[in-house]
Amino acid sequence: MAENLVNTWAELGKGLDKIYANVDPVSTKQYMELYSNVYNFCTKSHLDEVTPLNRGRRSGNISVATPSGAEFVGEDLYKKLVTFLEDYVNHLREGCQTYRGTELLEHYNKVWESFRFSSTAVNGIFSYLNRHWIKRELDEGKTGIYEVYNLAVRCWQEKLFVHVADAVTNAVLELILNERNGESIPTSLVSGVLNSYLN
C-alpha cells in the first residue's frame, strides 16, 4: 500500500496545489482524474495488497470479515490531506503577518474566499473518502476526524485564524467606530470576516 499511497499522492498533491493556487481553472477532466485517484486508492489498495487472512476490520484481537474492505481504507490518505492542509494554511498565515488595519481585512477576506472556494472543490474530489472511511470513523465515535470541507475549515481556524484573530477583530472594530463617526466604510470587509467566523 505504501507505494500506491506515494503514487496516488504524487498526483493528488499536484492537483491540490493547482486548486488552492486558484490561478488556472481546473478542467472537468482534471477534476475527475483527481476524484478517480481517490476512488482507485480506496477501492484497490485494500483488495490488492492485503491477504485474505487479514482482510477485514480488526476488533480487538479478532479479525471481522467484511464483504468488501474498500470502505475501510483511507486513513493514510486522510493523514496526507491533513498534512497538506496544515502546511498550506501555515503558508497563508505567514502572508497575513505583514498587513494591518484595512489592508489586513482586505487580504484576509481575499485568502479566505479563495480557500473556502478551493476547499469546496477538494471536498468533492474526496467525496468517496467522506462517504466511506470518514463516515465509518464518525459512526464509530472517533474524535479528531472530519469530513474534508470541515477539516479544511478547522485547519484554517487552528493554524491561521487564532493567530490573526486579535488583529482582525481590532481592524473590524476600528471600521465600525469610523462608521459611527459618520465615515463611509467598506461593509463587505466586515461581512466577509464575520462569514469566516461562522464557518
CATH of the domain at 32: 1.20.1310.10
- Mean pLDDT confidence for 17-31: 94
Give the residue from 102, 105, 103, 125 showing the smallest Cα distance to 113.
105
Backbone angles phi, psi at 63, to 5 degrees: -85, 120
Residue 141 zone, left/alpha/beta (φ > 0; ψ -120 to 50; rest): left
- Mean pLDDT confidence for 166-171: 95
- Mean pLDDT confidence for 11-35: 95
pTM for the structure as a whole: 0.84
Q: Where is average pLDDT lowest: 1-5, 49-53, 156-160, 169-173?
A: 49-53
Q: Is the pLDDT of residue 55 over 70?
A: no
Distance from C-alpha of 8 to C-alpha of 108, rounded to nearest angstrom: 32
- Cβ atoms of residues 158 and 73 within 8 Å: no
| Helix, strand, coil share (%) of the chain residues, nearest 5 | 75, 5, 20
Per-residue pLDDT tens over the stretch 95-152: 999 999 999 999 999 999 999 999 999 999 999 999 999 999 999 999 999 999 999 9
| Percent of the chain residues topping a pLDDT of 90 | 73
Q: Give the total number of structural domains in the chain.
A: 1
Those residues whose C-beta lies under 8 Å from the C-beta of residue 111, and which sit 6 or more positions away, are 92, 95, 96
The range of the structural domain enclosing residue 92 comes to 2-198
Cell 505504501 belongs to which residue?
2
